[in-house]
Amino acid sequence: MYQNELSNNSVISTNHIICWSGGKDSTATVILFHEHEKELLKPGDKVTILFVEVMYDLKRNISGHNPDIIDFIYEKKKIFESWGYNVEILRSKDKDFLTNFYHKLTRSPDPERVGKTYGFVSSSSICAIRKDCKLKPMNEWNKLHANDNQVQYVGIALDEPKRLESLHKQPDRASLLEKYGYTEDMAMELCRKYDMVSPQYFLPGNQMRDGCWFCPNCKFFESKNIYERMPDIWEEYVALEDTPNLAYPKWNCYSKETLKERDLRVKGLYKQYSIFDYITQ
Ligand code: SF4
């Protein structure tokens, strides 16, 4: 199924590519591959695990991912390498949150924004960080390494029928969770068995995501964790709100809360936590 057989009985090797975010579904996919290697791997096949790291500041090597999650990624990378897999952590060569923040907007549907300093992530649906810092490094890697005999495994579970439906339309993609009958809960159980549960699942209210900590989707306890783990960077980030003439001055396009107000909340100066901190932004 994953290998092309030639008429003379020789075989073409397959590149197995696993897209890994560190979350339970993609981590369980790597584990399932490992457990079913005998069935999936043929002589000459290669296995590559790809993780794309978005950076807050490339020059100072400051990740855009929560430090606990990025530590988890580098720790588990070593285990996957010990299983014989090539693990690549891809990064943009020249783009990060700060380059995006400080660049001057030369085009915009809103003429008032042209010429201004870009500012914060304007919306998670048209996220420039995603385009420049996630998709571009992935596309560049694909251009260099992709061939006709590759399978890309995506962590989509049995109980995600809509996502599976769109996956089935892409002939070079597959879900091992589907193939081996794993729901999302079972994927988590498998991660527990291998001690590979990402710290993203341990924050109160499951508030840590595997995305960037400067994302408009960033939840309260995620911000608090960044303040506790990287206080200087957090202060620097909050101060960006004072930058004059920003095309996108709001750090969070989904909330009325300013960054200064969130700063006070994470420092416990604004008010005591309420139930809403656990369930809202
Ligand atoms: S996590 Fe948020 S900021 Fe980061 S790439 Fe995704 S949408 Fe953009």
Q: What is the pLDDT of residues 175-197, one digit of tens each?
A: 999 999 999 999 999 999 999 99
* CA-derived radius of gyration, the chain: 21
Cα 121 to averaged position of ligand 1 atoms, centre (Å): 8
Please give the pLDDT value at position 272. Answer: 54
Question: Model confidence over 122-140: pLDDT tens digits?
Answer: 875 678 899 999 999 999 9
Which ligand 1 atom sits closest to the C-alpha of 124? Answer: 7
Residue nearest to atom 3 of ligand 1 (CA): 215
Q: Which residue has the higher pLDDT, 121 or 273?
A: 121
Residue nearest to atom 2 of ligand 1 (CA): 215
Which ligand 1 atom sits closest to the C-alpha of 64? Answer: 4
Banded model confidence at residue 8, pLDDT cuts 50, 70, 90: very low
Buried b / exposed e along 74-101 (16+ C-beta atoms within 10 A): eebbebbeeeebebeebbbeebbbbbbb
Q: How far apart are the first and last CA of the chain?
A: 45
Q: Is the pLDDT of residue 7 over 80?
A: no
Residue nearest to atom 1 of ligand 1 (CA): 211
Cβ–ligand 1 contact at 217 (below 6 Å):
yes
Ligand 1 test: best mutation among 56, 120, 121, most atoms within 8 Å of CB?
Answer: 121
Q: What's 4-200's CATH class?
A: alpha beta
Domain coordinates in residue numbering, the chain: 4-200
Cα 138 to averaged position of ligand 1 atoms, centre (Å): 15
Q: Which residues contact 138 (CB under 8 A, 6 or more apart)?
A: 50, 52, 90
Cβ–ligand 1 contact at 211 (below 6 Å):
yes
